[in-house]
Structure 1
Amino acid sequence: SGVGASLITDGSPDGATTGGAPLEWGHLTVQVRGRRCRCGALGCLEAYTGAESLLARWAERGGGGDSVAGDEEDALAALLAAAGDGDPIALDVLDETAEYLGAGLSDVINLFQPERILIGGWAGLMLGPHILPAVREHATRYSLRHPAARVTIDMGSLGPDAVTVGAATLPLAAFFTTGGRRTPPEPTTEAPGWQTSLQTRGGSAARRG
């Protein structure tokens, strides 16, 4: 229900051929002196786009009733259903969430100039079909023109278990990186020619002595 990100590049910090660098993207400040985030700071992106915050804002404006107090997934489904029925409070909360999410993505676009952004997670997959066009629009509006023109923003295709699947690949990646050994072999380095020559001469001199 929080907001995180992984930057996928051709290389990874641990030396594997592919990998993702975790980013605390959800704790980017998007509103100075804004809402209190669960991390303790004010104005974090997560305080406006995380499922917990989204439901809290819906309740603060008089929406949701008892549904907000239940399971987060059920409560979010109730909010989306209310928006589908034209409830103005639910629609306003979704519109606001889409703008903050788009603004947050613009920072990623301007900083890293990615080719593709995928939105996932259980909350992202539920919200995406309802707010993705608006998110794209706001991300483009808040981004620099050149990096915004080369990026696509889509929904992830790994489903709600993407985190679990990703975690399961880590030991496999380590296995292939080390060639199946428990510890990587020490690299063999050949001594330079001058050092070998000196050692040979030193040994010959000692034998002559």
Structure 2
Amino acid sequence: AEYLGAGFADLVNLFQPERILVGGWAGLQLGSRFLDTVKGYATEYALAYPAARVSIGMGRLGPDAVTVGAAILPLDDFFSRGGRRPGTEGEAVGEQPAWASNVRDRTAR
């Protein structure tokens, strides 16, 4: 529980997420028995500001979490192209969505 809490603290410090969900086989093994202990260590090891803004809980997908995550990948690809199918008219090969050039311009500064 301490090592997992320390790992969560690193994630909280680096990415400042709003929520961390433990699911899949790890969630089944961890269960609700150790979750409070993991939360305690994560809060102890993380910086105070981001630790106060994150919630750590159990995922509800159980052992299907990986399968559901993999099923979302094609949707992510579809939406990253602005909702266009590959090879549709007006789409040049390798054309990026409008937001991609915006992000590229901002990071170049």
Q: TM-score, normalised by structure 1?
A: 0.39
> Which stretches of structure 1, 4 residues or longer, exceed 4 Å deviation after superposition?
none
Mark the structure with the bigger radius of gyration.
Answer: 1
How many residue pairs were aligned? 90
The match for 2:63 among 139, 149, 160 is: 160
Instruction: Point out which structure has higher relative CO (alpha carbons under 8 A, 6+ apart).
Output: 2
1:126 CA displacement: 2.6
* Alignment map for 1:42-121 (pairs within 5 Å): 98-121=1-24
Structure 1 pair 172/145, CA: closer, same or farther in 2 (3 Å)?
Answer: closer
1:123 CA displacement: 2.7
Summarize deviations over 1:41-69 as a string: whole Å, max 9, x none: xxxxxxxxxxxxxxxxxxxxxxxxxxxxx
SS at match of 1:137: helix
Partner of residue 73, structure 2: 170
Which structure carries more helix by proportion?
2
Partner of residue 136, structure 1: 39
What is the percent sequence identity of the aligned residues? 63
Structure 1 pair 173/129, CA: closer, same or farther in 2 (3 Å)?
Answer: same
TM-align CA RMSD: 1.9
Gaps of at least 5 residues in structure 2 are: 96-109
Structure 1: which amino acid aligns with 2:86?
R
SS at match of 2:20: strand
Q: TM-score, normalised by structure 2?
A: 0.72
